[in-house]
Amino acid sequence: MEWETVIGLEIHAQLSTASKIFSGAATAYGAAPNTQACAVDIALPGVLPVMNKGAVERAVKFGLAIGARVNPESVFARKNYFYPDLPKGYQISQFELPIVEKGEIIIQVGDVEKVVGITRAHLEEDAGKSLHEDFHGKTGVDLNRASTPLLEIVSEPDMRGSDEAVAYAKTIHSLVQYLEICDGNMQEGSFRCDANVSVRPRGAEKFGTRCEIKNLNSFRFLERAIEYEVVRQIDILESGGSITQETRLYDSDKDETRAMRSKEEAFDYRYFPDPDLLPMKLSAEMIAEIKKTLPELPDAKRARYMQQFGLSRYDAGVLTATKAMAAYFEDVMKGMQSVGAANAKTAANWVMGDLAGVLKRDGLEITHSPVAADKLAGLVLRIADNTISNKIGKDVFEAMWAGEGDADAIIEKKGLKQITDSGAIEAIVDEVLAANPKSIEEFRAGKERALNALVGQVMKGSKGKANPQQVTDLLKKKLAE
């Protein structure tokens, strides 16, 4: 039987507020345990939660960016359960009336675009951390993370494979950074996914029984976990078994998922509206004000790149995939204002090709590139004005990467300036022709390839500094004599 995978994701994006969602304590990552937990976070008696307006604004931004309904009234609810890293014995979340409902986002898988529905996004607080190591059989509790603001983004079960799930997660990841509502740092847990996975016979209307895989904190783990889970479920079904609805954990060391708790063991969270926080009202004016602060979003940016720079849909898509890359590219273009958009494709190739390549090789983020955007613009300019060839450009780029200075200085110092003086080139051409009578013969016998060999010789003779087009033209002219 042919099976179809059905995936819905729940993404927890930590909102980038300086203080917590219900208290004034700092949210900075990596502080010594329990140094960023105030009376409210520790849940001492008598203290009360106070809504962080910054978290609300960020949630509204997200809602507006995905074309969702931003509810004029939403309600905070208590999700009750006991755990040592949950100080109040309940988590303040949103249940029946979330702040954001019914949005959508376009994802791209290969050349195919797909719309994924977003059921809801709601505000909630994070829990602390239980530390099971280094306490001699006891458990330590660090409440620094307690009450950190989260936006939980719940998708519709619209994805049909791990590739779509990853594309969706990456798109959301990019969007929240575009919006500057989340730093997107997955290592620090600022962006994590739970995946609801089920399979059904292709063509079936009813969804299969789903399993929820918790806490996937990298795109790779998301992909691996889904792939493992799909195979596991198909194996069970094909051998006549049935899927038990349960929560599973992905073990990245073993590359497998394993059961955490079944539906029967699921908690009764006893949700009810939090009487300490009145229903949250958002005025149309406030939402309109926030709308004004929205940055250019990836789709709009891509369209602009195509229009303004004449880039292909693909190139524009790659360049706008992350806010950081788009910002870098735009800085390069700014540095090349003197030559206008004509060389945008060259600049794009450099950013997507050579730069992206070495960044990946050296494990660097584009924001930490040793070659700043204005410096790369300096290099592209020299290629655009034929001072150097694209090939020499690569050497110059490596030198820039190694910190040897900007493009002009390196070209000057290493004498890499392209030879455009036709007299100088002619001398080399004559030398090469004299030394290669066989190639001349072959060319005249109709072997076009022989010309390439001669061009190569001349370029070699010029140490790569001759303009290849000029060399080709001159050779053709001489050979025709």
Give residues 185-224 in contact with other proteins (rule: CB under 8 A): none
Sheet with strand 100-109: strands edge to edge: 69-70, 100-109, 112-125, 149-155, 3-14, 191-201, 211-216, 246-251, 256-262
Query: Quick one: tokens of 372?
Result: 């700043």
User: Under the criterion CB under 8 A, does residue 95 sit at the interface with other proteins?
Assistant: no
Q: How many residues does the chain have?
A: 481
- Candidates 6-14, 43-51, 193-201, 287-295: pick the segment binding other proteins (CB under 8 A): 43-51
Q: Identify which of residues 86 and 471 has a Cβ nearer to other proteins in the complex.
A: 86
Query: Quick one: tokens of 176?
Result: 């929240």
User: Under the criterion CB under 8 A, does residue 43 sit at the interface with other proteins?
Assistant: yes
State the minimum distance, in angstroms, from the CB of residue 132 to other proteins. Answer: 12
Buried b (16+ CB within 10 A) or exposed e, 66-82: bebebbeebbbbbbbee
- Tell which one of 31, 47, 306, 339 touches other proteins (CB under 8 A): 47
- Candidates 78-86, 163-171, 292-300, 365-373: pick the segment binding other proteins (CB under 8 A): 78-86
- Candidates 56-64, 87-95, 239-247, 430-438: pick the segment binding other proteins (CB under 8 A): 87-95
User: Under the criterion CB under 8 A, does residue 109 sit at the interface with other proteins?
Assistant: no
Closest CA to 73 of 61, 56, 90: 56
User: Under the criterion CB under 8 A, does residue 21 sit at the interface with other proteins?
Assistant: no
- Candidates 60-68, 264-272, 327-335, 438-446: pick the segment binding other proteins (CB under 8 A): 264-272
Q: Residue count at the site for other proteins (CB under 8 A)? A: 29
User: Under the criterion CB under 8 A, does residue 112 sit at the interface with other proteins?
Assistant: no
User: Under the criterion CB under 8 A, does residue 137 sit at the interface with other proteins?
Assistant: no
User: Under the criterion CB under 8 A, does residue 75 sit at the interface with other proteins?
Assistant: no
- Tell which one of 139, 262, 420, 422 touches other proteins (CB under 8 A): 139
Q: Identify which of residues 87 and 335 has a Cβ nearer to other proteins in the complex.
A: 87
User: Under the criterion CB under 8 A, does residue 277 sit at the interface with other proteins?
Assistant: yes
- Assess contact for 342 and 300: CB atoms under 8 A: no
User: Under the criterion CB under 8 A, does residue 276 sit at the interface with other proteins?
Assistant: yes
- Tell which one of 140, 272, 310, 417 touches other proteins (CB under 8 A): 272
User: Under the criterion CB under 8 A, does residue 88 sit at the interface with other proteins?
Assistant: yes
- The C-alpha atoms of residue 125 and residue 21 are separated, in whole angstroms, by 6
State the minimum distance, in angstroms, from the CB of residue 44 to other proteins. Answer: 6
Q: Identify which of residues 141 and 392 has a Cβ nearer to other proteins in the complex.
A: 141
User: Under the criterion CB under 8 A, does residue 82 sit at the interface with other proteins?
Assistant: yes
Give 223's Cβ-side CA count (13 Å radius): 9
Closest CA to 69 of 96, 103, 117, 106: 103
State the minimum distance, in angstroms, from the CB of residue 242 to other proteins. Answer: 24
- The C-alpha atoms of residue 10 and residue 156 are separated, in whole angstroms, by 9
Q: Identify which of residues 61 and 78 has a Cβ nearer to other proteins in the complex.
A: 78
To the nearest 10 degrees (0 to 180), the angle between helices 449-461 and 422-435 is: 120
- Candidates 66-74, 241-249, 266-274, 428-436: pick the segment binding other proteins (CB under 8 A): 266-274
- The C-alpha atoms of residue 426 and residue 416 are separated, in whole angstroms, by 18
- Assess contact for 153 and 172: CB atoms under 8 A: yes
Q: Identify which of residues 33 and 161 has a Cβ nearer to other proteins in the complex.
A: 33
- Tell which one of 278, 327, 364, 424 touches other proteins (CB under 8 A): 278
Query: Quick one: tokens of 4?
Result: 């179809």
User: Under the criterion CB under 8 A, does residue 48 sit at the interface with other proteins?
Assistant: yes
- Tell which one of 49, 63, 98, 149 touches other proteins (CB under 8 A): 49
State the minimum distance, in angstroms, from the CB of residue 273 to other proteins. Answer: 9
- Tell which one of 26, 51, 236, 341 touches other proteins (CB under 8 A): 51
User: Under the criterion CB under 8 A, does residue 84 sit at the interface with other proteins?
Assistant: yes
User: Under the criterion CB under 8 A, does residue 243 sit at the interface with other proteins?
Assistant: no
- Tell which one of 137, 240, 275, 415 touches other proteins (CB under 8 A): 275
User: Under the criterion CB under 8 A, does residue 125 sit at the interface with other proteins?
Assistant: no
- The C-alpha atoms of residue 64 and residue 431 are separated, in whole angstroms, by 68
- Residues in contact with other proteins by the rule CB under 8 A: 39, 42-51, 78, 80, 82, 84, 87-90, 139, 141, 268, 270-272, 275-278
